Structure 1
Amino acid sequence: MITVVAVPFEDERAQALWAAQQDEVEAIYGRPDVRTALHAEGVIVSLLAIGSEGEPVGTVMAKWSEYHPDRPGAAEIKRLYVAPKHRGHRHARVLMGALERATWRAGATELVLQTGALQPEAVAVYRGIGYRDMAGFGAYAGEPDSVCLAKQLPTRVLVINGTIGAGKTATAAAVHDVLAEEGARSAFIDADYLCQAAPLPEDDAFGQGLLFENLAAVSPVYRARGYGCMVIARVVEDARDRDRYAAAFSGPGGRAHVSIVRVTASQDARVSRIAAREPEGYWRELCLARTVELDDILEDLDLDDGVVSSEGASRLDVAKAALDAAGW
């Protein structure tokens, strides 16, 4: 059994395993691979597998690919290696699973890698977990003994739900800020702006049909720009909406993975917020009535993966709580 932990790029245990991996590659091919020097720039994560007695067992890392400027969400896998005496226990698959989760959280849309035809065990591991042949890239293009592989990742969607005045938009914007600060590739959409039109059909009074058509139209644009994490501010009062978001953001990696987190606030807080942004007129009266009705509806529906309060904490703390609640 192994434990996989993230370590700094400079971690000496990981560096030693990387050196051993390069020595093994040189022994197989009869020459050193001088094209694979690593530097810390662009590293997403470096992982170390630790055995039951605390010894370093294996390693793998990922960095944003410098070879695919036209596919900015591509992350390159480097230095997958398990020490010889620890092989045969599927540790490489465990490491790859952890790496895929880490790069997915960082907003990667695809993973790419290079290995060699004289390493059939490595090729079999990659193909066995869903990697498919791709054209050679960078210094490996056209090399007969080089095997380049890729795997598409599904888009992740986090919908911030809540009644009027609960803080959906502020929280979703702050979630995007937190993700950006952490280096993730993410985008934020205030979905209300995609369905504000008049007149709306009688059978689509809140513009949900228009919203999901618009999301399906813009989704490939975000995907092509390499944004694997989408943060959406929008009330969710229809049990079908989770599936509709998954379909709207489907792509080469399959249907999107959708999480829904609801933000809440007391009625007094919501009324105060509504009064500040809607000082008078029709919209103020509508919002004041709707916030109470909608709060009861959302509570009864219970469609959320998590619920967090938007009161008594900074916007960034609320955002971090929402990310935790979503498992992001």
Structure 2
Amino acid sequence: MSGEKLVLNLEEVSFEDPRAVRLRDLLNKELLDRYATEDEPALPAAARAALDVAAEDFVANVLIVTASGHAVAHGALRLLDGEWEVKRVIVDPAARGLGAATRLMAGLEQIAAAAGARRVILQTGGQQPEAEALYRKIGYRQIPAYPPYDTAIPASVCFEKELEG
């Protein structure tokens, strides 16, 4: 980000957008680094199934991009049993601390609210304290783990945020 005037714009993109793919790959690597152990080098099958979302199930894929179009954050929305769920949130490590996550979450919330959502929900893991801190800071309230995470990943930390209509 050196030398670039920091302007953070929200851009809706296709799931296949190469910038989105790059950021989701970063997310997958980071999650594996945080959660893999010698005894469990990959996620259990039930967890993989719960986390795996088909591209066509996403109703919005969003990037936060700089003035030059460099994507620094990604997030998505899907409908899960009638609920608007925030998924695949990642900020490029080189851009952390610059407000991209806050801008991203506000954009996802605006998209959901414009579509009639009264709240959004999300799931994260207990080894992501930065994510938990962000969600609390921007008004999310912890809720019990919901399906499919309640059984597939019982240690999930889930949140909700009521949206203004």
Q: How many aligned positions are there?
A: 149
Partner of residue 54, structure 2: 39
Deviations 1:249-298 (A, max 9, x none): xxxxxxxxxxxxxxxxxxxxxxxxxxxxxxxxxxxxxxxxxxxxxxxxxx
Distance in 2 of aligned mates of 1:106 and 1:27: 35
| 1:129 equivalent among 103, 115, 138 | 138
Please give the residue correspondences for 1:154-169 in structure 2 after superposition, counting only pairs within 5 Å: 154=164, 156=165
Per residue, is there more helix in 1 or in 2? Answer: 1
Deviations 1:15-60 (A, max 9, x none): 2211210110110011345232222334221101112332221100
Question: Which amino acid is 2:126 matched to?
Answer: A
Per residue, is there more strand in 1 or in 2? Answer: 2
What fraction of aligned residue pairs are identical, expressed as a percent? Answer: 34
Distance in 2 of aligned mates of 1:60 and 1:100: 11
Partner of residue 149, structure 1: 159
Please give the residue correspondences for 1:60-71 in structure 2 after superposition, counting only pairs within 5 Å: 60-65=75-80, 69=81
Question: Which amino acid is 2:121 matched to?
Answer: V
Partner of residue 12, structure 2: 6
Q: Is the contact made by 1:44 and 1:106 (CA closer than 8 Å) also made in structure 2?
A: no
Q: 1:144 offset after TM fit, Å?
A: 5.2
Distance 1:16 1:38, change over 3 A: farther
Secondary structure of the equivalent of 1:47?
Answer: strand
Partner of residue 325, structure 1: none
- Over aligned residues, Cα RMSD in angstroms? 1.7
Distance in 1 of aligned mates of 2:79 and 2:126: 24
| 1:95 equivalent among 99, 104, 108 | 104
Distance in 1 of aligned mates of 2:162 and 2:9: 26
Structure 1 stretches (4+) deviating beyond 6 angstroms?
none
Secondary structure of the equivalent of 1:94?
Answer: helix
Please give the residue correspondences for 1:1-328 in structure 2 after superposition, counting only pairs within 5 Å: 1-30=7-36, 31-32=42-43, 34=48, 35-65=50-80, 69=81, 72=82, 74-141=83-150, 143=153, 145-154=155-164, 156=165
Q: TM-score, normalised by structure 2?
A: 0.83
Q: Which runs of 5+ in 2 are unaligned?
A: 1-6, 37-41
Q: Is the contact made by 2:145 and 2:154 (CA closer than 8 Å) also made in structure 1?
A: no
Q: TM-score, normalised by structure 1?
A: 0.43
Secondary structure of the equivalent of 1:10?
Answer: coil
Distance in 2 of aligned mates of 1:78 and 1:15: 14
Question: Which amino acid is 2:75 matched to?
Answer: V
Q: 1:117 offset after TM fit, Å?
A: 1.3
